[in-house]
Amino acid sequence: MALYDVGRIAVNCYFHTLYRLKINGRENIPPESERFIICANHRGYYDPPLVGIAMPFQIGFMAKEELFRNKLFGALIRKLGAFPIRRGKSDFGALRAAINMTKSSRHIVIFPEGGRSHKNRLRKGKMGAVMVAVKAKADILPIGIEGTYKPFSKITINIGKPISLEQYFEKKTDSAELQRITLDVLMPKISELSKVPM
């Protein structure tokens, strides 16, 4: 059994034991063969494994480069599908990697807020996720994580219908337009699904 599958079983057991976990909208997940990226709100360290167990197949993650500084932990999360990105900077290498992975029908999670939200408000979305989707000619699968991470509380993962950006695939889309799509299309949908205001 692969390490990812062992991790999935362990995470499933953990969350179903310690929380009242519910996953809605699994019927909205496209077939694994289709090209799409996954975007969710980001409130804490539990978000990546929660998104992972909501998907019926293996996915990858963009993770802040600080998590890879510990060699053992860095090696572990790489085996689980994570790859590093420099926060607060334009990390074109990581974005190119995300585009190439998506083109080859590997599915990755990008948290468009670029960091954890605070005070029950979504942070302003960054355009990287939309750029990856447009460059890779992929849909975006929006997810909202609802609830708190206090033990025995209710956590709900709401999976929305894919967002098609097909109208932008053959256009020259500048950074201003990518940011507009992020703020006017992607973030409102994540806000709706997570019930966290923008």
The pLDDT-based confidence of 77 (bands split at 50, 70, 90) is confident
The pLDDT-based confidence of 90 (bands split at 50, 70, 90) is low
Q: Is the pLDDT of residue 89 over 60?
A: no
Q: Is the pLDDT of residue 101 over 90?
A: no
Rg (CA), the chain: 16
Fold for domain 3-194? Glycerol-3-phosphate (1)-acyltransferase (3.40.1130)
Share of the chain above pLDDT 70, in %: 97
Which of the pair, 107 or 86, is modelled with greater confidence? 107
pLDDT in tens, 16-73: 999 999 999 999 999 999 999 999 999 888 999 999 999 999 888 777 778 778 888 7
User: First CA to last CA across the chain, in angstroms?
Assistant: 41
The C-alpha atoms of residue 116 and residue 138 are separated, in whole angstroms, by 25
Question: How many C-beta atoms lie closer than 10 Å to residue 87's C-beta?
Answer: 14
- Residue 61 near residue 47 (C-beta atoms within 8 A): no
The pLDDT-based confidence of 85 (bands split at 50, 70, 90) is confident
Q: Which residue has the tokens 């494994």?
A: 49
The pLDDT-based confidence of 86 (bands split at 50, 70, 90) is confident
The C-alpha atoms of residue 150 and residue 147 are separated, in whole angstroms, by 9
The pLDDT-based confidence of 138 (bands split at 50, 70, 90) is very high
What mean pLDDT value characterizes the chain? 89
The C-alpha atoms of residue 54 and residue 97 are separated, in whole angstroms, by 23
The C-alpha atoms of residue 91 and residue 98 are separated, in whole angstroms, by 11
pTM of the model: 0.89
Half-sphere exposure of 198 (CA within 13 A, CB side): 15
The C-alpha atoms of residue 105 and residue 123 are separated, in whole angstroms, by 29
Backbone angles phi, psi at 170, to 5 degrees: -100, 5
Query: 78 CB contacts (<8 Å, ≥6 apart)?
Result: 68
Q: Is the pLDDT of residue 115 over 90?
A: no
Please give the average per-residue pLDDT across 92-119, as a whole number: 85
- Residue ranges per domain, the chain? 3-194
The pLDDT-based confidence of 5 (bands split at 50, 70, 90) is confident
